[in-house]
Amino acid sequence: MRSKSRECAFKIIFSSLFNAEEPASFRRGIYRAEKLGEEDAAFADVLLGAVFSNRKELEELLGKYCIGFSAERLFPADKSLLLLAMAEAKYTDTPAVVAVDEAVGLAKKYSTEKSIGFVNGVLAAFIAGEVQK
């Protein structure tokens, strides 16, 4: 169930905004708490690898598509969702529309009502400008 993989990845990315060093035990603990199977944990690792390996570029893209907001000013939950969805759409074989839909679903669960439209709008602009070239 890839949705749970994304949710775990979101939590780990969110945590990384406050603590740059992520102990392996933390990641395993998140996976265990969400009861991720081996395949789902591997997918979460792929997502996390895409975010952390390309963090600098993704942050620059956030600045480009979050008009009026610098990456530093973003609500941490929104920033985590955007990083996750952008990395998934750009660096994996997941269709962009799926990455956006999943991010919006997580925004509904973990962010504010206004954030849902914000996340959707930023990702739509990102997809149009970066993924569908």
Threshold 0.85, pTM exceeds? yes
Q: Which residue has the tokens 């979050």?
A: 66
Supply the mean pLDDT for the chain. Answer: 93
Question: Could you report the per-residue pLDDT of 21-60, keeping only the tens digit for each?
Answer: 777 889 999 999 999 999 999 999 999 999 999 999 999 9
For residue 37, give both structure tokens. 């199977």
> 2-131, which class in CATH?
mainly alpha
Give the residue from 22, 89, 83 showing the smallest Cα distance to 56. Answer: 83
